[in-house]
Amino acid sequence: MLSERVALVTGPARGLGQEFAVALAAAGHPVAGLDIADMSETRSRVAAAGGRFRGFSADVTDEEAVNQAVAAAAEAFGGLHIVVNNAGIYPPIEFEKTTLAEWQRIMRLNLDGPFLVSRAALPFLRAAGWGRIVNIASAVVFLGPPDLVAYTTSKAGLIGFTRALATAVGADGITVNAIAPGLTATATATATTGAEGGFERVRALQAVPRTGRPDDLVSTLLYVCGEGSGFLTGQTINVDGGSARH
């Protein structure tokens, strides 16, 4: 089991965020969750895995709410060490049908959110002298699908954020990395892409011809957050079955 480090996961109510929260808790990390949705299912799954979880209601695009929730999480668990910026949206919209309001909403959640959460968490990571910030990007950055222009742009920005922030905080014992998943079988992904059509199209691009599973990403997350990963920073790890080779 990894040494106990307090983790904070955004968007843990469902999908990959829930899988990440459960996996970190099962590995021995107390986990705080930031979400505006009901986190009771996550709490139950963490308890069943023998872990500890506390949910804090916060919209990650609301600066004041984020500052208060991150501080409350650190106080509840006696510190903060790991931040997983997972919350995001990926609505497929044709570029010419994308309104400015839709574009701004995607940017706020997918890019402003990680900025606000990371900034709020940074004093606690610096105080601990040890930290892991993990941003959940997307393999679409390397593929550029035509119906995800806004989403792809937001995730490309997140990769740039990862690289620059890694440089800014490396001397403090804090690493910053991104994980870029391909399309992964979760209830959220199925609701967005359809039960089979989206997965079938993506599988045709992959070197590994199966649908991605949450555990494919969990193993990478635990590695990036591990005690022995302190020399890995500013990197984007693509976990997509080889659909994008870069």
Mean pLDDT, range 106-131, rounded to an integer:
98
pLDDT tens for 203-246 read: 667 667 777 788 889 999 999 999 999 999 999 999 987 777 66
Note the pLDDT tens digit of each residue in 156-197.
Answer: 999 999 999 999 999 999 999 999 998 876 666 555 554 455
**Is 199 inside any structural domain?**
yes
Residue 122 located in a structural domain: yes
Position 245 in a domain:
no
Active site residue 151: yes
Tell me which of 151, 165, 166, 240 is the catalytic residue. Answer: 151
Residue 2 lies in a domain: no
HSE on the CB side for 37, CA within 13 Å? 13
Spatial separation of the C-alpha atoms in residues 34 and 202, rounded to whole Å: 30
Read off the pLDDT band of 199 (50, 70, 90).
low
**Considering its fold, how many domains does the chain have in total?**
1
Tell me if 71 is assigned to some domain.
yes
The verdict on pTM exceeding 0.85 is yes
Can you tell me whether residue 9 is helix, strand or coil? Answer: strand
90 is a domain residue: yes
CATH number at residue 84: 3.40.50.720
1, part of any domain? no
Strand order, beta sheet including 53-57: 53-57, 31-35, 7-10, 82-85, 131-136, 174-181, 236-239
Q: What is the pLDDT of residue 191?
A: 53
The type of residue at 194 is G
Q: Is residue 31 part of a domain?
A: yes
Q: Which domain holds residue 45?
A: 7-239
